Amino acid sequence: MINVIYFWQVEGFGATRAFLRMALDRSALKKDPTISFFKLLGTGKGETFTPRDANPHRWGLLVTLKEEDLEKFDHGKVANNWRKFATAEYRAILKPISSHGAWSMREPFIVEQFPWDGPIAAITRARIKWRFNRTFWRAVPSVTSSLHSSPGLRHAIGIGEAPIGLQGTFSIWESAKELRDFAYKGAAHTTAIAQTEKLGWYAEELFARFAIIEESGSL
């Protein structure tokens, strides 16, 4: 199995069309027998993880499917409908290196052991317990500031399935070492991890790393 993530940039009335596609594509993706997992994603700056971060001009889609089905999906109705009004597209083919946790009560990424020393993508996401939203938001700025200044980071954006409570990040790193240094050596992030363990503010969380097998376009 492989994972493909798309981000589409839209302008003007394209933002309205994007909202419509988010509603219509859910049914089409559920009915596609080649897809084992998908998430339609809004995006943001990833600075506060509050609604004011939201970017109505960039939208995403993550799908998991067999490699032999990729070409058909990539040239299928869902992707092509976005291309009719998107002004730019980023696409990356991702192969899981590690994955811990769950997403919508599932473990969506099938990890295979293989050597890799190229660029890395990371997805973090969490379902935050409602009573801890404010606590979470207060902890975010120091972590995001540390993230965006981390050596080896190429890109980092916020992703979410809803404006509040279902939050995450998609980031691209030059190497696995630089990602590990941020995750396990950065003071702000390790403090946040300790708070998470102490307070239990997530109802569900996931952290996954991927080899970037192929990418096109730009974020």
User: Which CATH number belongs to the domain containing residue 71 in this structure?
Assistant: 3.30.70.100
Containing structural domain, residue 99:
2-216
Nearby residues of 45 by Cβ (< 8 Å), 6 or more positions away: 53, 55, 157, 158
Cα 96–Cα 149–Cα 218 angle in degrees, nearest 5 = 55
Mean of all residue pLDDT scores within the chain: 85
Query: Has this prediction a pTM greater than 0.85?
Result: yes
pLDDT in tens, 54-66: 899 999 999 999 9
**Rounded mean pLDDT, 114-135:** 82
Q: Which of 93, 128, 148 is nearest to 199 (CA)?
A: 128
* DSSP-derived secondary structure letter, 201: -
135 three-state secondary structure: helix
H/E element, 81 = helix 77-83
Q: Residue 147: its pLDDT value, please?
A: 75
pLDDT in tens, 13-45: 999 999 999 999 999 999 999 999 999 999 987
Instruction: Tally the domains of the chain.
Output: 1
